[in-house]
Amino acid sequence: MISDKMKELVKNNSVIREMFEEGKNLKKIYGEENVYDFSLGNPSTPVPSEVNDSIIELLENQKDTIHGYTSNNGFEDVRNSVAISLNKKYNTNFNSNNIIMTVGAASGLNIVLKSILNKDEEVIVFAPYFSEYKCYIENYDGKIVIISPNEGNNFIPDLKELESKINNKTRGVIINNPNNPTGVVYDESFIKDLSEILVKKEKELKRDIYLISDEPYREIVYDGKKVPFITKYYNDTIVVYSYSKSLAIPGERIGYVLVQDEVKDSKDLITAITIANRVIGCVNAPSLMQKVVSKCVDITCDIEIYDKNRKLLYSKLKEYGFECIKPEGAFYLFVKSPTGDDKEFAIRAKKYNILVVPATSFGCKGYVRIAYCTNYSTIENSLESFKKLAEEYGIK
Ligand code: PLP
């Protein structure tokens, strides 16, 4: 008999994953090239050759040692190279002790939440939000508090609502920049305003409130947009990073958590996060992949490829009459349902073998998310179907 908590999770299993599985079935029926699967953020860009070369080199030169357990927080030399790379890029002053290697951002978020949450404490998220946040928070008996989607202001969150929802149960605020699913990038003035509110509320409530910055898309920005490096703005910041998207290796499960010295009781928090890695059963980040990313800390996959996809899809969908948020980062296009019903939109799109995710699952009704990290040809081939869909809606 499965637990009551798990029954709930099974019932509400990820819509994104369901779509992904459905896509695989449709491809068997109609053929790979006739299904336009925009469900999952699975990068199709080539993995940088340095990644594959490093794997081969490590397997040749360290074949007897590379597959062993590591310390819970990861190899020291790897953590050191991550710190050095960040310092070079952002003019910061981190060292290996500030870094804990993780099994991607998903486990990074889990070990952070496990380390900071007491029962019924609240974590605030901005809708639309990455749908997994809810189960991660609830895994540790926390409560998710949702700031409503700010459709009228390009989905830049309303900070007045944030301020009104911080109380003596608040333990954290999760920010995701660039944003999945909107593709919006929060600029420096937004980050400054957010930080000011958190500083004020920490003082007023006399409690630590962590800003958890979930940054798998940090490098994926367009048109010269800049993502402010968040530790500079608010002391109690914890950064969760992933190489899934920047190196196009999501199946390899590698990332890190960064806790700067300025975080209150940072040493205790780093110890807790390190032990949480073991407690939730991750033990340590994959050894081979730690060494690989350490050799690739300063590179990314070719962001131009996503930009090309973005430009084609955005311009064509606009031309066909769809209302879309112009993506500034990440690789998602947020499209308004012509009827206001996102689930109906996703079902209707499926008739044309187009798979998109209704944004109700991200806490925002009325939109769907299109993950355009596909091959360019998938986008090109899908255009006729999008056009027919627009015609069916009568918006073209
Ligand atoms: N956070 C956000 C916003 C994401 O979009 C994803 C994956 O799509 C994750 C976290 C999890 O990433 P990882 O593959 O590193 O676990």
Mutate to test the pocket of ligand 1, among 109, 180, 238 (most ligand atoms within 8 A of CB): 180
Judge if the beta carbon of residue 236 lies within 6 A of ligand 1. no
Minimum-distance ligand 1 atom for the alpha carbon of 243: 15
Judge if the beta carbon of residue 242 lies within 6 A of ligand 1. yes
Alpha-carbon distance of 48 to 53, in angstroms, equals: 9
Alpha-carbon distance of 175 to 82, in angstroms, equals: 22
Specify burial of residue 280 (Cβ count, 10 A radius: 0-12, 13-18, 19+): middle
Minimum-distance ligand 1 atom for the alpha carbon of 179: 3
Mutate to test the pocket of ligand 1, among 217, 219, 244, 334 (most ligand atoms within 8 A of CB): 244
Judge if the beta carbon of residue 130 lies within 6 A of ligand 1. yes
Q: For the chain, which domains are there?
A: 4-47+301-393 (3.90.1150.10), 49-295 (3.40.640.10)
- CB < 8 Å & 24+ apart, contacts of 313-321: 313/370, 313/372, 313/379, 316/383, 316/386, 317/386, 320/386, 320/387, 320/389, 320/390, 320/395, 320/396, 321/390, 321/393, 321/395, 321/396
CA of 254 to the centre of ligand 1 (A): 11
Alpha-carbon distance of 301 to 48, in angstroms, equals: 5
Strand partners, 367: 336
Residues of the chain with pLDDT under 50: none
Specify burial of residue 145 (Cβ count, 10 A radius: 0-12, 13-18, 19+): middle
Judge if the beta carbon of residue 255 lies within 6 A of ligand 1. yes
- Map 221-234 to HEC letters: ECCCCCCCCHHHCC
pLDDT at 345: 97
Model confidence pLDDT, tens digit, residues 32-48: 888 999 998 899 999 99
Distances (CA, A) of 334 to 37, 170, 272, 362: 15, 29, 37, 11
pLDDT at 16: 67
pLDDT at 273: 98
Minimum-distance ligand 1 atom for the alpha carbon of 106: 16
pTM equals: 0.96
DSSP 203-257: HHHTS--EEEEE-TTTT-B-TT-----GGGT-TTEEEEEESTTTTT-GGG--EEE
Tokens of 285: 């980040």
| Atom 5 of ligand 1, residue of closest alpha carbon | 180
Model confidence pLDDT, tens digit, residues 125-150: 999 999 999 999 999 999 999 999 99
Alpha-carbon Rg for the chain, nearest whole angstrom, is: 21
Alpha-carbon distance of 372 to 301, in angstroms, equals: 15
Alpha-carbon distance of 79 to 61, in angstroms, equals: 21
Judge if the beta carbon of residue 175 lies within 6 A of ligand 1. no
Strand partners, 358: 368
pLDDT at 77: 98
CA of 106 to the centre of ligand 1 (A): 6
